[in-house]
Amino acid sequence: MNTFSVFNKIIIVLFAGVLPLTMSAQKLTSFKIFSKSGKSVKYKKMIKSLNDAEVIFFGELHNNPICHWLEMEVVKSMDASHNIAVGMEMFETDTQKDLDSYLNDEMESKEFLEKCRAWNNYKTDYAQIVEYAKTKKFPVIASNVPRRYANMVYKEGFEVIESLVVDEKQWMAPLPIPYDASLPGYVKMLEMVGGHGGDNFPKAQAIKDATMAHSILKYLPDNGKMVHLNGAYHSNDFEGILWYINQYQPDVTMQTITSVVQSDINELEEESLGKADFIIVIDEDVTTSY
């Protein structure tokens, strides 16, 4: 064998050894899942745990495509073996009838989007779940309080909604709304805005949390599950909506997912430990929908 052939074989062997390392180095991951203690968790293990809960909260970042993709995957995973409903913060309780009409093919898409006051990012971020539910014939629940009532509470406190007529009160949790101003989440809200809006700012959040909790319990399928989609701050630290469910019906079993963004997704940052049963850590370079 001539020297040239030997040299070529050496190069081929070296290249074959380097190639897997290069491909491995180039393998990109946009997210990782962690337990509340900070241990890396596989998706299948998370789903196995979620199977034990009656209500599953997916705390999302509203503009993050990884959140919306994983929400779809969780819904599919739960639908595969359970009687489910999907609750959505993104729809308000007074639109339930129109939402049902759309799901039952009794209303066109354009009319549905108008009557249900769909969020601006509905088509990119939420439509796939609604369309999946429409195809699979399971309920989608408009769980949130109509924004006008939350705004009233923000301006004038809980007292103003006590004076509403009966027909208006049907769109929110039963009055009076239980409220604990000392809950860390509500305290943090006041700190974040520097007290702007006074004590009513977290109360406006509370009427949303209470109404979503009430909606979840009202529509929780018999011997089934509710997957509830909401902003992470509504369920972080097992507060918000979960606190209200524990006030109304403490025997309901719940598990939570939350979402955070980090520059390094390989280890859960300390400030996110314990925020939820499962924490989705998303690479900060993932582009957002708005």
Q: Given this model, what pLDDT does residue 1 score?
A: 56
161-202 pLDDT, tens per residue?
Answer: 999 999 999 999 999 999 999 999 999 998 887 656 678 999
Confidence of residue 18 (pLDDT cuts 50, 70, 90): very low
**Taking a C-beta distance cutoff of 8 angstroms, is the pair 169, 175 a contact?**
yes
- The two tokens of residue 178 are 């239980």
Mean pLDDT for the stretch of residues 145-153: 98
**Given 3-state DSSP classes, what are the helix, strand and coil percentages for the chain, each rounded to the nearest 5?**
50, 15, 35
Coil, strand or helix at 272: helix
Q: Given this model, what pLDDT does residue 24 score?
A: 44
**Taking a C-beta distance cutoff of 8 angstroms, is the pair 51, 74 a contact?**
no
Q: What is the mean pLDDT of the chain?
A: 92
Confidence of residue 86 (pLDDT cuts 50, 70, 90): very high
**What stretches of the chain show up as alpha helix (H) in DSSP?**
3-26, 43-50, 65-79, 96-103, 109-115, 122-125, 127-136, 147-156, 159-162, 166-169, 184-192, 200-219, 241-248
Mean pLDDT for the stretch of residues 258-264: 98
Q: Given this model, what pLDDT does residue 192 score?
A: 83
Domains of the chain: 31-283 (3.40.50.11550)
Q: Does the pLDDT of residue 219 top 70, yes or no? A: yes
Report d(CA 2, CA 5) in Å as an integer: 6
Q: Given this model, what pLDDT does residue 5 score?
A: 55
